[in-house]
Structure 1
C-alpha cells in the first residue's frame, strides 16, 4: 500500500514522517513531495512579499524555517498530488492545517484542517479551545477560523521549529489557568513531545495533527 504525503515546504519531512510511520506501521510505503522542492532559500523567501498577504510557516529540507504565502504554492501543491497519483498512491495526506479548497485529488485526500474541526465538533458540545499556531501573524485569522466552530477560543503562538520547551511550558500553564477544555496544536510541525507537555500540565485532551492523520489513514487502508 502506498500513501502520499504532501508538504507546503520541502521534502523529505524527516521531522514528521517518522511519527506518522509509527502509527501506520512498516506495511505502508510513504511517498513524499513538497511544494518547495528544488528551490533555493532565496527563491523561497521571494514567495513572501509581506503583509497583507496571509502567511504560512514551514521548513526547508535542512530544517530552516521559512515564511511563504498560500497563493504562491497552490499550483505547486496540485502538481505534487498529480505526481503522487501517477506513482500509484491510494491516499494523499496534506501536511498542513491550512484549508486548501482549491486542492483536489482523484484519490482520497486527507485534509487536516477539516479533520480537526470535525473532531472538535464531534467531541465537545460547548467549552473553550486552546489553539497553538506557529506565528503571531496568524492569530487573528486563527481566532476567526475556530470561532466559526461555535466555541470560545484562546490562541497562542510558538514556532514548532524554533520554539523552546520553556515557552511551551509557559503557554501550557496559561491554558491551565484559563481552564481550556481541549487543546489543538494547529500546525503539522508540532511533535509528540509538545503534545505530551500540554497534556501533562493541563490534564486536558490534545489534538496532534500528524498522529490524527496517521490513525485515520490506517483505518482507511484497513491495516490489521
Structure 2
C-alpha cells in the first residue's frame, strides 16, 4: 500500500498560495480509477491536483482473492487496475481504507475524498472530507423525508439483501440491482422501481449513460452518485468568486422553490459558509465540522446559523433538498 507520507509537503487550504487544490482520493479498489476520477474532475469549475490511493494497491492476485466475503460478511464490488471487477469483504477492506485515511496529512491535502459507496462508517482524518456514502445517505434521507418514494439501485443482487434493513424513518425505500453498463439489467431495474418518484444509482461506478437509460425508461429523475460527490467537492473547494451580496429579506428568492432560486441563495454564501453547508448537508455534527475545518465548534455554530438563514432552510433535510435542486435541475 502506498504511503501518503512519501510525497513533498504542499501548502494547506488556508495558506492562500496560488496553486491547484490538492485532493487525496481513496478508493476500495486499485488506482488509478480512470473510470471515475476524470469524469468527476470534468464537472468541477476549479483545477485540482489529485493523488489516488487504493485499498487494493500493491496486493497480489492471491491476496485480493483472500478478501472475498466470508460467511457473515457483507460485500462491495470494485475495480482493479486491469479493468476487471472484483467482490470483496466490506468489513476487511474498510479497515484498509481506514488506515489510508488516517495517514492523509492535512498540511499536504486540501480535501480527502472517500470515493466509494457501501461503507457505512466514518473514517478518521483531520482533512476536510467528502464521504461518498455519507453524501448519498443524506440525499436519500432528505428526499424520502419530503414524502417522495425513493428507489435505490445497487450493482449486485446480494447487496439488495444485505441492505434490506436500511431505512429512513417513516419512509419505505425500494431496492433493486443492476450492473453498470448492462442495458438490459438497467431497464429491468427501472421496471422494478416503477411508481418511485426518483431513483438513486448507489455506486460511483455508474455513469451518465446508465443514468439516462433508467431516467428514460421511468420518466423520473435519477441521481448519479458521482454527481453528488462532485457537488460536495464544489461546495468545499469553490473559492466563491461568484459570491453576491445578500439582498434584503423581501427581495430574496423564495426558499427551495426551484433550482434557480436555491442556486441564487447559494451565491450569497461566503466560502466558509459553503464549506459548512456541505458538511452539514452530509450530516456532520458541529464538533466534527470544527475538527475538519480547524475552527472552534462555536465558530461553526455562527457560520451554520448565518448559512441556514441565508438559505432560508428550517432544517437540515430542507437544506439538503435545496442543495440537490440547485445541483440537479429537474428534481
TM-score w.r.t. the length of structure 1 is 0.89
Runs of 4+ in 1 over 4 A off after TM superposition: none
State the Cα deviation string for residues 111-150 of structure 1 (Å, max 9, x = none): 22221222233334223221111111111232321x2343
Q: Which structure's residues are more often strand, by fraction?
A: 1
For 1:173 and 1:76, locate their aligned partners in 2 and report how far apart those are by CA, in whole Å: 37
Within the candidate set 172, 195, 212, 2:190 is matched to 172
Counterpart in the other structure of 2:315: none
Counterpart in the other structure of 1:183: 199
Q: CA RMSD for the aligned pairs? A: 2.0
Q: Please, which runs of 5 or more residues in structure 1 have no aligned partner?
A: none
For 1:24 and 1:104, locate their aligned partners in 2 and report how far apart those are by CA, in whole Å: 26
Counterpart in the other structure of 2:79: 59
**How does 1:67-216 map onto structure 2 within 5 Å?**
67-85=87-105, 88-124=108-144, 125-145=146-166, 147-160=167-180, 163-175=181-193, 178-216=194-232
**Aligned pairs, number:** 219
Counterpart in the other structure of 2:31: 11
TM-score w.r.t. the length of structure 2 is 0.62
Q: Which structure is higher in RCO with an 8 Å CA cutoff and minimum separation 6? A: 1
Q: Please, which runs of 5 or more residues in structure 2 have no aligned partner?
A: 1-20, 242-331
Q: Is the CA contact (8 Å cut-off) linking 1:99 and 1:111 kept in structure 2?
A: no
For 1:155 and 1:123, locate their aligned partners in 2 and report how far apart those are by CA, in whole Å: 15
Q: 1:152 to 1:103 in 2, by over 3 A?
A: same
Q: 1:200 to 1:136 in 2, by over 3 A?
A: same
Mean Cα deviation higher: 181-190 or 199-208: 199-208
For 1:87 and 1:24, locate their aligned partners in 2 and report how far apart those are by CA, in whole Å: 23
